[in-house]
Structure 1
Amino acid sequence: MAQALAGVDVVMHQSAKVGLGVDFFDAPDYIRNNDLATAVLLAGMAAAGVDKLVLASSMVVYGEGAYTDSAGRPVHPAPRRVEDLEHGIFDPRDPATGELLLPALVTEDAAMDPRNVYAASKLAQEHLAAAWARSTGSTAIALRYHNVYGPRMPKNTPYAGVASVFRSALARGEAVRVFEDGGQRRSFVHVRDVAEANLLSVDALVGGRVASGCARAYNIGASEVHTVGRWRRS
């Protein structure tokens, strides 16, 4: 580790074990590859005096996403009802009133609610980076990637998002499968924009625009939100 970090000013940590996993027995692998490995990296950076980190995080740390009631007030949604799903009602309800909620954009200050082991491991990475920054007086930026697409995207792997899944199905001459009503909202961001976000983060860290001992997090997505159904039709 010391040799790898020699002469390094900023570390851009992009690697992770991704996907939902087959079952919970995969949990140790996610923690080993994502959290233990990140802790080893941060310890090595502390020992080497490398004090700037850009971390690839994910929008999965938010869980269900953001919703409001009809008056525009933010509401944390209740779990979806089986009877609603059976009747083709896929939006969650207000746990207090039963009113169907409206989707909203997720902001960086939204509550964290990871819903699977991968999501929990990504949030743990952010917490580790923040603890490292506070302990060592370092600086970190976590980039919460939304649905990334672009050239040379892996096919039929845990890294493949819906764009790659659709493209692979069409290439095989198969119909594209859309679950529920296709109303699931996604922010699709091109890999070039992700690369630019990483470079801007490096500039911010090197330029001293993040205070010593602080870690920040930013959503990396497109300004326009698409539904999965619309993406299929396009």
Structure 2
Amino acid sequence: MRILVTGGAGFIGGHIVEAAMARGWEVRILDSLDPAVHPDPPPGIPGVSVLVGDAGDPDAVAQALAGVDVVMHQSAKVGLGVDFFDAPDYIRNNDLATAVLLAGMAAAGVDKLVLASSMVVYGEGAYTDSAGRPVHPAPRRVEDLEHGIFDPRDPPPASCCSRHWSPKTRPWIRGTSMPPPNWPRSTSLPRGALNRKHCDRPPVPQRLWPSDAQEHPVRGVASVFRSALARGEAVRVFEDGGQRRSFVHVRDVAEANLLSVDALVGGRVASGCARAYNIGASEVHTVGQVAEVLSSVAGAPAPVVTGEFRLGDVRHITASSARAWAELGWIPKRGFEDGMREFAIAPLRGDQA
């Protein structure tokens, strides 16, 4: 098996490469080694071909695809970003680069792709009201957030806990309108200047923690907490710490990616068809719980709940992984407490062993 892992020097991609090598697969990496993400170039991996290049560069993609059986597309610009003015860079690194990759695959005759997405394509998604009917809350209002009202209330859901997307019942999910209304609030542009469009997007993988961490403006909350603890600072938690997520260990995510390759190669996903899977833990935890566990293991002061917020952050998001369990045979093996404890003592990226 010859696979190409875009972003293979990165967070999830590196664990996929490690797991694929353990299976005896032949691995090639295409990674730009962006200095903002990789200030120190990672060491080479014996037996792995590494091409330094951009997934949005047709020539680099064509070279990387030569002789490949399956592509695992992990390269992306992640997170909410610094502000909405960096949207063009997100479009170039994510949407355009994926289009370039797909065009290259078509030209090279490579027809098997495992594509990683992000939980944020759900936006605020759906809840249920007091009558059990699905409701789609509007983006949270600035005035509510400023007064410490963090749960959506337009329309008011019966319970945040009732939110649970399942790809079995909604295989394709209409993109919410979260970015358009948040853009003018963050840029002072009039809302009428923006077109509000909806599109179909696939379900997504959920939050995860790595075996290493690095401070970076767009990295996950667990990594930000971990970096604060390494500096001897108390963890600062936005909002009230009650944001719910499905935290899942990165090695479990890597295994899900490999099982997806098995499904493609084994014909369980028909040629020319797409199949979407949520990859997340079965248990839901809050951002506040992450801060508490990491602080406790580090022997640090209790987390500080600041009440601060960022426009564009999603309040709650969890999703059913039942389809992945049933069709891929994927079950997360690492629990929240054990994974967070492992993460709390793992060396930060760039530290010397």
State the TM-score, normalized to the length of structure 1: 0.80
State how far apart, in whole Å, the 2-side matches of 1:23 and 1:39 are: 24
1:4-15 matches, within 5 Å, as 4-15=64-75
Match of 1:178 in 2: 237
User: Deviation at 1:207?
Assistant: 0.7
Q: Structure 1: which 4+ aligned runs deviate by more than 6 Å?
A: none
User: Deviation at 1:200?
Assistant: 0.6
Residue aligned with 2:258, SS: helix
Q: Mark the CA change 1:60 to 1:231 in structure 2 (over 3 Å): closer, same or farther.
A: same
* Larger CA deviation: 19-28 vs 46-55: 19-28
Between 1 and 2, higher relative CO (CA 8 Å, sep ≥ 6) is seen in 1
Of residues 227, 230, 246 in structure 2, which corresponds to 1:168? 227
Query: 1:109-140, CA deviations, whole angstroms, 9 ceiling, x for partnerless residues?
Result: 243226349xxxxxxxx96xxxxxxxxxxxxx
Match of 1:137 in 2: none
Identity of matched residues, %? 78
Match of 1:113 in 2: 176
> Is the contact between residue 139 and residue 178 of structure 2 (CA under 8 Å) also seen in structure 1?
no
> Which stretches in structure 2 are left out of the alignment for 5+ residues?
1-60, 181-199, 294-353
2:169 is the counterpart of 1:102: no
- Which has the larger share of strand? 1
State how far apart, in whole Å, the 2-side matches of 1:43 and 1:85 are: 43
1:193 aligned partner, one-letter code:
D
Match of 1:21 in 2: 81
User: Deviation at 1:190?
Assistant: 0.5
Of residues 55, 58, 68 in structure 1, which corresponds to 2:128? 68
Match of 1:35 in 2: 95
* Root mean square deviation of aligned Cα: 2.5
Match of 2:105 in 1: 45
> Is the contact between residue 20 and residue 116 of structure 1 (CA under 8 Å) also seen in structure 2?
no
Query: 1:82-119, CA deviations, whole angstroms, 9 ceiling, x for partnerless residues?
Result: 55434433211243xx56653412233243226349xx
> Is the contact between residue 188 and residue 226 of structure 1 (CA under 8 Å) also seen in structure 2?
yes
Match of 1:135 in 2: none
State how far apart, in whole Å, the 1-side matches of 2:69 and 2:241 are: 45
State the TM-score, normalized to the length of structure 2: 0.54
Match of 1:156 in 2: 215
> Which stretches in structure 1 are left out of the alignment for 5+ residues?
118-125, 128-141
